[in-house]
Amino acid sequence: MLQRTLSIIKPDAVSRNLAGDILAMIQAAGLTVKATKMIQLTRAQAEAFYAVHKERPFYGSLCDFMTSGPVVVSALEGENAIQAYRDLMGATNPANAAEGTIRKRFALDVEKNAVHGSDAPETAAQEIPFFFSALEIVG
C-alpha cells in the first residue's frame, strides 16, 4: 500500500551536519521525499507535536531538546512507508537498534535519537499536516 509518513531529523543530528546522510539513507531505502524543510520549533509547537507524551517523565526534557536547534522535517512516500521508515530508523533507544539503522549509526541516546517517524496511519495523517500544507507537498 502506498503511504506517506512524517520524518523529523532532530536537533542532535542536524547540528552534527547529518541531515544529508540521513536523507540519503531514506532515499536508498526506496522512500521518496515529497516535501522537506528546515525549521526551528517554538516551545508551544514542540509541546503540541508531542502532546501524546505530556504525562511521561521525559516530556519536559524532550520539548527542551526539540527546540534546542533546527530540525529537518520531511513528508516521505513509499510502499508501507510508515513501517518501512520505522524499520530504517531502528529502535527508539539506540542501544537496542539493529545494525544498518539510522539510530544505530547516528543516535546519541534514547532522547537524542536522531530521527522521529510516524507510528501509525492515524498519526501520519495528523503529523504531516502539522508541518506541511497541501501546497508544499509535490503530487
| Alpha-carbon span 90 to 93, nearest angstrom | 8
For the bound state, the minimum distance from the C-beta of residue 16 to ligand CMP, rounded and expressed in Å, comes to 16
Q: What are phi and psi of 98, to 5 degrees?
A: -75, 155
DSSP bridge partners of 97: none
**Of 50, 54, 64, residue with least CA distance to 8:** 50
Residue 58 lies near ligand CMP (rule: CB under 6 A): yes
Cell 507524551 -> residue? 53
Give the closest residue to 49 by CA, choosing from 60, 68, 63: 63
Q: In whole angstroms, what is the distance from residue 103 CA to residue 136 CA?
A: 28
Nearer to ligand CMP, 130 or 138 (CB): 130
86 marked as binding residue: yes
Segment lying near ligand CMP (by CB under 6 A), choices 38-46, 69-77, 106-114, 128-136: 106-114
Is 130 one of the binding residues for ligand CMP (CB under 6 A)? no
- Known binder of ligand: residue 103? yes
In the complex, which residue's CB is closest to ligand CMP? 116
116 is catalytic: yes
The contact set with ligand CMP (CB under 6 A) reads: 53, 58, 62, 92, 110-111, 113, 116
Catalytic residues: 116
